Amino acid sequence: MSVADMEYWAEKKAKKKAYVWLLKQSARLEGKKLPPNPYPSAIKEIQAKERNFVRDRFHYPKILKIGQKMKEEKATEMQDRMKGGSW
Domains in the chain: how many in total? Answer: 2
Statement to judge: residues 58 and 72 lie in one domain: yes
Of residues 38, 17, 9, 14, the one with CA closest to residue 25: 17
pLDDT the model gives residue 85: 62
What's the domain range around 57? 45-87
User: Where residue 2 falls among pLDDT bands split at 50, 70, 90?
Assistant: confident
Structure confidence by residue, pLDDT tens digits, 33-66 = 877 777 778 888 888 888 888 887 778 888 889 9
pLDDT the model gives residue 64: 87
Statement to judge: residues 32 and 51 lie in one domain: no
Residue 73 scores a pLDDT above 70: yes
Q: What is the mean pLDDT of the chain?
A: 85
Statement to judge: residues 49 and 77 lie in one domain: yes
Statement to judge: residues 49 and 67 lie in one domain: yes
Statement to judge: residues 51 and 78 lie in one domain: yes
Instruction: Name residues whose C-beta falls within 8 Å of residue 40's C-beta, 6 or more positions apart in sequence.
Output: none
pLDDT the model gives residue 87: 58
Statement to judge: residues 51 and 86 lie in one domain: yes
Statement to judge: residues 4 and 32 lie in one domain: yes
- Separation CA 52–CA 47 (nearest Å): 9
Residue scoring higher pLDDT (7 or 40) = 7
Statement to judge: residues 32 and 60 lie in one domain: no
Of residues 20, 63, 11, the one with CA closest to residue 38: 20
pLDDT the model gives residue 1: 67
